Amino acid sequence: MSHTTTASPVISAGVRTDFLSHRNAAELVASVGVIECLRGMSLTIEADFMRWHDFDKSARVANHSQDGVIELMPVSDQQNYAFKYVNGHPVNTRHGLPTVMAFGALASVATGMPVFLSELTLTTALRTAATSAMVARRLMRPGSRTMALIGNGSQSEFQALAFHGLLGIRELRLFDIDAAATRKLKANLAPYDLDVVCCGSTAEAVEGADIVTTVTADKAYATILHADMIRPGMHINAVGGDCPGKTELAAEVLQRADVFVEFEPQTRIEGDLQQMPADFAVTEFWRVLKGEVPGRTSEQQITVFDSVGFTLEDDSALRHMRALAESAGMLEPLELIPELDDPKNLFALLGTGQRASRAAALPARAATPQPEVTAL
């Protein structure tokens, strides 16, 4: 059974916000099955890309710091507004935190009422892999069976399983500068019918691969893939170069390929594309889906998906997870927005009489904000 969700409105009559915790999201994905969840999410994202012009789109707002970035990503159509908060801090794993952490919400456009708040750390890994598979289905050489997977961290299992479960990849060739990450990935993939080969370098991993996925994390102009590693007919799924000053592909790789992107204005700033002149030709992928332009045109063509992650995918993923969680009874009510007898009387929330006079008697110290505490 395929778990596809429709792009139905999320308008809610009452003052109720549903919450999906990371614990419930994980339980839900495990019970549906990762591959089945990826399949449904991929179909939901594809259905939304087919409605490209229905959405009010913008590049995300990014706040950069020395070691990372924090981004806000909004999108809306006539019914739903969605946003995601996400960071990217490659140094985080040294502090015991994931590189990428996220949460997000869905709201009704008609009222502005936030109807769903969700974890998006796990969901981002799913939606990124589901998007990669949606794109590769149109761009990879038919009959592709081998994928090199460079960067074996948090995103990697999801990428591996999307390409295996949705596109028929049978052999994975792994490389990471951290051998422990590769061992972790190999162990997590053990239950699946995959030939997994651990390699000693990117060049070795890429040798003989039909598809190359790069999903490394380093806030640097890195060059993971050099032009001499690329063979005619390869599809390159470049996922890790997703913010200014952070790349994975040599410029020559892009020059030799046809390059496909999600939302061009964002990818020009954030993708591997940031290295190329402003007039370097790229194709927004929705045009391939709609049949306006071809995807792969020959066996020899080299294709690149310069993935940076677009908020429309998060909107689709939020609605997909909400629908799954609703049917599994896994949504929890969240007291986020007050329900008022008189919507003009917000002050009534504070209570009257006794409570107010008790607060007035409290020592001033209790109302003084404490200094900010840093976790790291």
Of 119, 176, 210, 315, the residue at the interface with ligand NAD (CB under 6 A) is 176
Closest distance to ligand NAD from the beta carbon of 104 (Å)? 13
* Active-site residue (options: 242, 258, 272, 315): 242
Residue 250, interface with ligand NAD (CB under 6 A)?
A: no
Residue 222, interface with ligand NAD (CB under 6 A)?
A: yes
- Binding mask 57-96 vs ligand NAD (x if CB under 6 A, - otherwise)? -------------------------------x-x--x---
Interatomic CA distance for residues 307 and 206, integer angstroms:
19
Task: Select 179 or 337, whichever has its Cβ closest to ligand NAD.
Answer: 179
Task: Select 144 or 307, whichever has its Cβ closest to ligand NAD.
Answer: 307
DSSP state, 372? P
Closest distance to ligand NAD from the beta carbon of 260 (Å)? 13
How would you class 129 by CB atoms within 10 Å of its CB: exposed for 0-12, middle for 13-18, buried for 19 or more?
Answer: buried
Element (H, E) at 265: helix 264-270
How would you class 132 by CB atoms within 10 Å of its CB: exposed for 0-12, middle for 13-18, buried for 19 or more?
Answer: buried
Residue 204, interface with ligand NAD (CB under 6 A)?
A: no
Q: What angle do CA 222, 96, 322 make, to 5 degrees?
A: 90
Of 135, 172, 239, 289, the residue at the interface with ligand NAD (CB under 6 A) is 239
Site residues for ligand NAD, 99-128, by CB under 6 A, read 99-100, 124, 128
Closest distance to ligand NAD from the beta carbon of 268 (Å)? 15
Of 108, 247, 307, 311, the residue at the interface with ligand NAD (CB under 6 A) is 307
Closest distance to ligand NAD from the beta carbon of 140 (Å)? 18
Residue 152, interface with ligand NAD (CB under 6 A)?
A: yes
How would you class 135 by CB atoms within 10 Å of its CB: exposed for 0-12, middle for 13-18, buried for 19 or more?
Answer: buried
Contacts by 92-95, CB closer than 8 A, 24 or more apart: 92/68, 93/153, 95/376
User: Could you tell me which residues come within 8 angstroms of residue 67 by beta carbon, excluding any fewer than 6 positions away?
Assistant: 89, 90, 91, 219
Interatomic CA distance for residues 75 and 69, integer angstroms:
20
Residue 309, CA distances (Å) to 127, 240, 261 in order: 9, 10, 10
Closest distance to ligand NAD from the beta carbon of 295 (Å)? 19
Q: Is 242 a catalytic residue?
A: yes
Residue 267, interface with ligand NAD (CB under 6 A)?
A: no
Residue 217, interface with ligand NAD (CB under 6 A)?
A: yes
**Residue 160: both structure tokens together:** 């591996």
Give the residue numbers annotated as catalytic, written as ranges: 242
Binding region for ligand NAD (CB under 6 A): 88, 90, 93, 99-100, 124, 128, 150-156, 175-178, 181, 215-218, 222, 224, 239-240, 242, 307-309
